């Protein structure tokens, strides 16, 4: 009987051959070809003994597969079952080896990617640390700058405090000086103080002029009569005192029709104290050389001046306009010796009435002087051109401020004047619109102003303001024109 294991084998199992060839093809990817060192994915050098062993196993396996069919034909069923079971286990082992090799390759790839990610994470941490250091240095720099700004603000605040103290001292000294001559500005601001200073300067000039004229006219008289009771007064200086008794400037929203009184002294008018009169033949107070000084144009100040005679100590002033129809119109609030020409005076004759009085309340003869040598006040050419252009267009738009619900809340508005009427818009909403009528009035205070009141036909008062909208030098003209 022949030994079944020594008989020649004809290997015809293609499936087993394919599986074995596939297994041998992937054998070089065995886990033995790779290794791990310090957590990095590196490739080991190929072991020669391992390759030879795999080649021998592959050759032996091929020979076994060649003789498979012959062997299985001669085997009994039990042996054949064991044989196929062993072959199946060998194939399973080869498949598991292949999976292990694939898993090893994937593990190496994952380790390599992990190493790359760790490097990137390290770089990110370094970048974050640098950014944090930059942010800290920037914050320290900003704190240093803020500290410098705070110190600079403190220094400027101290300087400003010193300047304010100097300004207060200067203003107080100037007001004290003006108060010595009974010049009291109606408001404590630069404009009022400047006006009071100018007024005092002009008064001092008039006083010096009077003293010089009096000295020249009376020098020979005093020389001939050394016992004259006024000689000592001449050489020791006259005792002049200015007293101005006047109401406060006209308030825009208040009616003040009563005239204001101005107490005069030698700084403004000359009173001849050396003249003596009896109670029966005392002449009435009077004014000599009464005139108006200044340029008669809108925006300029006119000043009435002269020399008081016959004991004149008090003068009542009233500025008036004469219209084309001969009507005499008193200017409300214009009861001082100085007056600012306004656009309302254009095309009218402007004059001032002066009533001299003495300490016994005796009134002298009324003296009237016309401005501009008795000619009409002319308008500024630029203003006249603007008015003519609006008249020719038949429409005019003006930006101004209208008083809101509170006393200090001004809202921007547009006043549109047309040939037949007017309307006022606030934020594109019509505030009021009506036609011109005899009941429509416009109230503008005397002097320079940026405010006026429009009284509608129904008697509603609408206050307006142009401050900050027009040019500072043209605000009053814009209001009145």
C-alpha 66 chain-centroid distance = 102
Mean pLDDT of the chain: 72
Distance (Å, whole) CA 337 – CA 367: 13
Q: Domain 389-480, what architecture?
A: Roll (2.30)
At a CB cut-off of 8 Å and minimum separation 6, what does 10 contact?
Answer: 66, 67, 69, 70
Mean pLDDT score, 436-464: 79
Mean pLDDT score, 340-368: 89
Distance (Å, whole) CA 155 – CA 146: 14
Which DSSP category does 32 fall into? G
Out of 30-34, 143-147, 325-329, 348-352, which region has the weakest mean confidence (pLDDT)? 30-34
Whole-number pLDDT of residue 282: 76
Which DSSP category does 31 fall into? G
CATH of domain 196-225+233-374: 2.60.40.2700
More reliable by pLDDT, 249 or 111:
111
Residue 273 binned pLDDT confidence (cut-offs 50, 70, 90): very low
The structural domains of the chain, with segments of one domain joined by +, span: 14-133, 196-225+233-374, 389-480
Whole-number pLDDT of residue 470: 54
């Amino acid at each position: 009987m022949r030994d079944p294991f020594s008989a020649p084998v004809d290997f015809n199992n293609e499936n087993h051959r394919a599986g074995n060839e596939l297994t041998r093809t992937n054998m070089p990817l065995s886990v033995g070809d790779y290794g791990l060192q310090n957590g990095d994915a590196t490739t080991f050098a190929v072991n020669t003994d391992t390759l030879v062993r795999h080649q021998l196993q592959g050759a032996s396996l091929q020979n076994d597969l060649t003789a498979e069919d012959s062997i299985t034909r001669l085997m009994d069923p039990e042996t054949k079952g064991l044989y196929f079971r062993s072959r199946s286990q060998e194939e399973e082992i080869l498949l598991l080896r292949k999976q292990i090799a694939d898993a090893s390759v994937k593990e190496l790839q994952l380790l390599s990617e992990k190493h790359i990610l760790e490097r990137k994470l390290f770089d990110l941490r370094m970048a974050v640390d640098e950014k944090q250091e930059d942010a800290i240095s920037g914050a320290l720099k900003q704190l240093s700058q803020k500290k410098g700004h705070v110190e600079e603000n403190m220094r400027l605040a101290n300087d400003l405090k010193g300047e304010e103290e100097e300004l207060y001292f200067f203003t107080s000294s100037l007001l004290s000086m003006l108060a010595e001559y009974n010049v009291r500005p109606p408001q404590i601001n630069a404009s009022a103080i400047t006006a009071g200073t100018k007024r005092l300067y002009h008064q001092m000039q008039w006083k010096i002029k009077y003293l010089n004229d009096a000295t020249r006219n009376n020098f020979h008289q005093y020389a001939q009569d050394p016992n004259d009771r006024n000689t000592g007064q001449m050489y020791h200086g006259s005792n002049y005192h200015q007293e101005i008794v006047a109401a406060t400037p006209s308030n825009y929203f208040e009616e003040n029709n009563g005239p204001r009184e101005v107490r005069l002294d030698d700084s403004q008018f000359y009173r001849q104290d050396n003249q003596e009169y009896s109670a029966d033949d005392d002449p009435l107070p009077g004014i000599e050389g009464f005139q108006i000084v200044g340029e008669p144009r809108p925006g300029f100040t006119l000043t009435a001046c002269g020399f008081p005679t016959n004991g004149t100590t008090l003068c009542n002033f009233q500025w008036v306009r004469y219209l084309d129809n001969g009507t005499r119109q008193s200017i409300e609030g214009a009861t001082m010796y100085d007056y600012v020409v306004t656009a309302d005076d254009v095309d009218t004759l402007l004059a001032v009435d002066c009533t001299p009085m003495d300490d016994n309340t005796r009134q002298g003869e009324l003296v009237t002087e016309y401005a501009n040598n008795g000619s009409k006040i002319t308008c500024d050419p630029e203003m006249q051109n603007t008015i003519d252009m609006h008249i020719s267009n038949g429409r005019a738009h003006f930006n101004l401020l209208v008083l809101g619900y509170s006393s200090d809340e001004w809202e921007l508005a547009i006043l549109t004047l047309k040939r037949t009427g007017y309307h006022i818009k606030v934020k594109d909403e019509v505030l009021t619109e009506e036609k011109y009528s005899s009941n429509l009035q416009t109230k503008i205070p005397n002097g320079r102003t940026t405010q006026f009141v429009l009284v509608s036909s129904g008697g509603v008062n609408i206050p307006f303001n142009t401050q900050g909208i027009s040019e500072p030098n043209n605000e009053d003209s814009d209001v009145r024109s």
